[in-house]
Amino acid sequence: MKIAILGPAPPFRGGISRFALSLARAFKDTGHNVQFFNFREQYPKLLFPGKGQYDSELPTNEFVNHQILTPWLPKTWKATIHELKIYRPEAIIVSWFLPYFAPAYGYILRQITCSRKVILAHNIASHEKWLGEKYFLQYAFKPATKIVTLSKATLDELHRKLPLYISKKGVSGFHPCYDMYNDNISATRKDNTLFFFGLIKPYKGLDILLQAMPKVIEAFPEVKLIIAGEVYGNKNIYTEQIQVLGIENNVECYFRYLSDPEISYFFNQSCLCILPYKSASQSGVIATSYSFGVPVLATKVGGLGEYVIEGKTGYLVPPDNPSALAEAIINHLQQKPDMSQAINEYTKRYSWKGLAELLIK
């Protein structure tokens, strides 16, 4: 089958691009032909708070990669349609994660004749408020023949936010575990090293984790928390909080985008990955953590609970609760459970091949 993936792909950095690459590989491994219909530019510099939009480590020539779409330039929508019509895909997979892309996506889907127009919804509601978000969703989702979410919680949200004639096209999928990282990095697993990883925004709850740390340090003075990820906002908020709490000797901060070897290095030395999120749909961080055999401590928000088997692949605690977070961390450091077998079984059950089949069946 000829499959088009519309949305961010290499060389654009971030979880959505990596997801598209892993998905394309799964399609290719099962005999399908895949092409990326990628962005030329993803965000105008005025709207992008990060330091860069590209990852030079990601492969760009593994698949045919049409870098032609600029969301705010309608002439590139037509250029994308032209290339799609030349390719004539039997299925088009659209990576959805922001209302910002709705005008371009909705217009393109309406102009393409294809029996399978699939919205791959990484979330429904964005973490930041968007004026008219419901109407953007309706415009982009209406021409789809199928909508696949990555958690049951996100599917429920789809049913709440959109009319039945659209939401009835929704099915619940899952976020497979990544297999693209180099796990041959020399690092020793440490029983007292905690890891907070990923893009840092207010909803990620890093402030809550920092509030929990004094209690953890009191019980385990040698504990170390590694924080790694680019901050969207003012990083001084966190550095000042660390100083006020007096925990700077137990916290290492790497406020930047990590290379793949760095990601491998930090995960390979960590005993627990922590997601103290205040809201979420699902999280690629859990999928990444499991790929290294590292259990997770996450909050009971959105679809996160669907990815954690309590006491076997990790733990769940209420959101916005530093005390509960601290107690769960302390319990893990005291018990030192071996969760590797359960995590390995989980990763085999939720494969990229399985998601690929769900998208196009």
Q: Where are the domains of the chain?
A: 2-173, 193-347
Residue 20 has pLDDT above 80, yes or no: yes
**What is the edge-to-edge ordering of all strands in the sheet holding 170-172?**
64-69, 33-39, 2-6, 91-96, 116-121, 146-149, 170-172
Q: Do domains 2-173 and 193-347 have the same CATH topology?
A: yes
Count, residues in the chain: 361
Q: Cis peptide before 11, with omega less than 30 degrees from 0? A: yes
What is the pLDDT at residue 209?
99
* 3-state class (DSSP) for residue 66: strand
Q: What is the mean pLDDT of residues 3-19?
A: 95
Residue type, 57: E
Rounded Cα distance between 312 and 277, Å, is 20
By the 10 Å C-beta count (0-12 exposed, 13-18 middle, 19+ buried), 133 is classed as middle
What is the pLDDT at residue 182?
56
What is the tens place of the pLDDT at every residue in 66-117?
Answer: 999 999 999 999 999 999 999 999 999 999 999 999 999 999 999 999 999 9
Q: Worst-scoring range by mean pLDDT, 38-47, 202-211, 235-244, 285-294?
A: 38-47
Q: What is the mean pLDDT of residues 167-176?
A: 97
Q: Which CATH number fits domain 2-173: 3.40.50.2000, 3.60.10.10, 3.20.20.70, 3.40.50.300?
A: 3.40.50.2000
What is the pLDDT at residue 60?
80
For residue 256 the two structure tokens come to 């930047």
For residue 239 the two structure tokens come to 């550095």
Please state, for a pLDDT cut of 90, what percent of the chain lies above it. 83
Q: What is the mean pLDDT of residues 338-348?
A: 93
Q: What is the mean pLDDT of residues 304-312?
A: 96
pTM (two decimals): 0.90
The partner residues of 96 in beta bridges, in order of sequence, read 121
What is the pLDDT at residue 186?
55
Rounded Cα distance between 216 and 297, Å, is 14
What is the pLDDT at residue 285?
96
Q: Worst-scoring range by mean pLDDT, 77-91, 126-140, 257-271?
A: 126-140
Rounded Cα distance between 141 and 125, Å, is 13
What is the tens place of the pLDDT at every residue in 185-194?
Answer: 556 678 899 9
Residue 47 has pLDDT above 90, yes or no: no
Higher pLDDT among residues 257 and 186, named by residue: 257
Q: What is the mean pLDDT of residues 55-73?
A: 90
Secondary structure (DSSP) of 155-172: HHHHHHHS-HHHHTTEEE
What is the pLDDT at residue 11?
94
Q: Which CATH superfamily is domain 193-347 in?
A: Glycogen Phosphorylase B; (3.40.50.2000)
Q: What is the mean pLDDT of residues 250-268?
A: 94
Instruction: Spell out the alpha helix ranges (H) of the chain.
Output: 15-29, 74-87, 102-111, 133-141, 152-161, 164-167, 206-219, 236-245, 260-269, 284-291, 322-335, 340-349, 352-360
